[in-house]
Amino acid sequence: MSLFLSVVPVSEAVAAVQRIAPPSGCEEVPLEDALHRVLAQDVHADIDIPGFDRSTVDGYAVAAAETTGASEAIPAMLQCRGRVGMGSTDAGSISPGSCRYIPTGGALPGGADAVAMIEHTEQVGDDILIHRPVAPGENVVFQGEDFRAGEVVLSRGRVLSPRDIGVAAAVGADRVVVTRVPKIGIISTGNELVPVAATPGPGEVRDANSYLAGAFVTERGCHPVYFGIIRDDRAVLTQAVASALDECDAVLVSGGSSKDERDNTAAVIADLGEVLIHGIALAPGKPTIIGTVRGKPVIGLPGHPASAFVVLVAVVDHLLAAMLDSAVSRRTVRARLTQNVPSARGREDYVRVSVRDTEATPVFGKSGLLNTLARSEGLVRVPASSEGLEVGEEVEVILW
């Protein structure tokens, strides 16, 4: 096996991980447990929402035609025939020349087709003076105007937010079918790595990538399973990857992906399965490995946390979304560059930037430095077809 295969474009790497993403299956859960889960089936309205014509304001239910020409000087005068009670199954009706008080959410009585806001009315005894005309349908939501019975309210593939949970409850979905949460194995390799709680000695560094990758996986709606630090020993790494595959749906291995002959990740993947890609036209993150073992994806990430995180955003994000049967969801903002950003044509660069108001300032640093992650708010992508971006150019910032 070649130690470093042909470098491929980012788009090819993304297509590869989407192709090998295993389906996660689905399960039915109570609505209260569905927050941030991915819908595996559409949610439909069980009835018309609302189920009746209702007022959107406090005011008086009227026939709109009877308010034509109303003004402060010459108000329309209607006789008030009582109140509409909240939750009442019988809102009654109004006759010509009359109106009824109606609270927000109250059912519109028969004969009424609009509601005059209470702020635009005046009560004189049993009469109501209306100082502004209202149009038919004004301040009213009609039956089924929100959702019709049987209509798709929330579509398959949607990541359920708190507002989605509320909407699902309103249409009677007390249980929903969601994608099962994929388990992602997290392995860090390297003789130089020590646990986070340890004080590194000469030549040692703390294992940041396990936590970085695990948090990223969690944020994307998957469940990380940590397999700890593995020494640079091919046999030991082989056993660790095999154990992770026994338990997980995919495995992320950080470190051991470079060209150096001591690096074992590609060799282990090749022994257990197949290396599909070893090298992406991506900076940082060129030595990334994409492979498959037992029908499950195994991804080799660079050892430097900053490089590993770029690969997580640029490539692994698409793998996790495909496993969850959802779309990649990113927060972005538009900003103008405060400095030139050089790049080499033929590779896709992801430049860390800080964002203030509408300006994006590149956060440059030497390879392997962590401060660029702490001092930045996101990434700017430089296309492979470009030799860089110029100061003042408007760019899209992918926010962390």
Alpha-carbon gap, residue 111 to 21, rounded angstroms: 59
- 370 within some domain: yes
Query: Are 20 and 86 part of one and the same domain?
Result: no
Query: Are 268 and 345 part of one and the same domain?
Result: no
Query: Are 107 and 127 part of one and the same domain?
Result: yes
Alpha-carbon gap, residue 38 to 324, rounded angstroms: 7
Query: Are 130 and 77 part of one and the same domain?
Result: yes
- 376 within some domain: yes
pLDDT, tens only, 85-100? 998 778 799 999 999 9
pLDDT, tens only, 14-43? 999 999 999 999 999 999 999 999 999 999
> Is residue 398 over pLDDT 90?
yes
Query: Are 287 and 300 part of one and the same domain?
Result: yes
Select the more confidently predicted residue: 175 or 400.
Answer: 175
Question: How much of the chain, in percent, has pLDDT values that exceed 90?
Answer: 89
Domain CATH number, residue 165: 3.90.105.10
Query: Are 216 and 292 part of one and the same domain?
Result: yes
User: DSSP readout, 64-81?
Assistant: GGGGTT--SSS-EEEEEE
Q: Identify whether 50 is preceded by a cis peptide bond (ω within 30 of 0).
A: yes
> Is residue 248 over pLDDT 90?
yes
pLDDT, tens only, 54-93? 999 999 999 999 999 999 999 999 999 999 999 877 879 9
Alpha-carbon gap, residue 332 to 380, rounded angstroms: 10
Structure-token pair, residue 213: 């990758």
pLDDT, tens only, 161-184? 999 999 999 999 999 999 999 999
Q: Contact 330/312 with Cβ under 8 angstroms?
A: no
Q: Report the Cα 222 to chain-centroid distance in Å.
A: 13
- Looking at 141, 167, 195, the residue that finishes a domain is 141
Q: Report the Cα 90 to chain-centroid distance in Å.
A: 43
Query: Are 68 and 83 part of one and the same domain?
Result: yes
Q: Report the Cα 209 to chain-centroid distance in Å.
A: 23
pLDDT band at 1 (very low <50, low <70, confident <90, very high): very low
What local confidence, expressed as pLDDT, does residue 4 receive? 52
What residues contact residue 294 under an 8 Å CB cut-off, 6+ apart? 245, 272, 273
- Domain extent, residue 273, equals 10-24+181-323
3-class DSSP state of 313: helix
Q: Contact 65/119 with Cβ under 8 angstroms?
A: no
- 2 within some domain: no
What local confidence, expressed as pLDDT, does residue 261 receive? 46
pLDDT band at 3 (very low <50, low <70, confident <90, very high): very low
Phi, psi of 316 (to 5 degrees): -65, -30
- 217 within some domain: yes
Alpha-carbon gap, residue 131 to 228, rounded angstroms: 74
Domain CATH number, residue 223: 3.40.980.10
H or E element: which one contains 269?
A: helix 265-272
What local confidence, expressed as pLDDT, does residue 148 receive? 97
Radius of gyration of the chain (CA): 30
**Mean of pLDDT over the chain:** 94
Q: Contact 121/128 with Cβ under 8 angstroms?
A: yes
Query: Are 172 and 106 part of one and the same domain?
Result: no
Domain CATH number, residue 373: 2.40.340.10
Q: Identify whether 284 is preceded by a cis peptide bond (ω within 30 of 0).
A: yes
pLDDT, tens only, 386-395? 999 999 999 9
Alpha-carbon gap, residue 362 to 307, rounded angstroms: 16
pLDDT, tens only, 115-165? 999 999 999 999 999 999 999 999 999 999 999 999 999 999 999 999 999
Query: Are 111 and 195 part of one and the same domain?
Result: no
Residue 355 burial (C-beta neighbours within 10 Å; 0-12, 13-18, 19+)? middle
pLDDT, tens only, 328-372? 989 999 999 999 999 988 999 999 999 999 999 999 877 667 888
- Give the closest residue to 299 by CA, choosing from 252, 237, 248: 252
- 4 within some domain: no
3-class DSSP state of 168: helix
Query: Are 35 and 19 part of one and the same domain?
Result: no
Query: Are 307 and 168 part of one and the same domain?
Result: no
Query: Are 40 and 167 part of one and the same domain?
Result: yes
Domains in the chain: how many in total? 4
Phi, psi of 303 (to 5 degrees): -75, -30
